[in-house]
Amino acid sequence: MNVQEIVDALSLEVKTAKGDLSRTVTGCYISDLLSDVMANAKEGEIWITLQTHPNVVAVASLKNLGGIIVTNRRSPEAETLQKAENEGVVIAVSPLSTFEVGGMLYKMLRC
């Protein structure tokens, strides 16, 4: 499954790196603690978080994650979007809660 398919299925709004949606997603990691993501997320996983500051881009980039989904109608900061665009990190947003987005992704990625 790639990022585009997840964007379509979850009706996400893609904010950055729109040219990088063909990337394969291997799983999902949910956390708002950045060190936890650094320690435990795996390459290719899509990351669901409430955090919107620029450090999320550094984490996603260093860990080579599949992309970031920001939930609960939160808007990433302008600096975050700029950084993500520069580094080719996909950030997509959803009005749904982390529970709802995570639940839908669980069903999609588990099969």
By CB under 8 A, name the binding residues for another protein.
32-36, 38-39, 43, 49, 51, 53-55, 57-59, 61-63, 79
Cα–Cα dist 29/31, whole Å: 7
Cα–Cα dist 103/87, whole Å: 28
Smaller CB separation from another protein, 8 or 77: 77
CA 55 to chain centre: 13
Q: How far is the CB of 79 from another protein (least distance, A)?
A: 6
Smaller CB separation from another protein, 3 or 37: 37
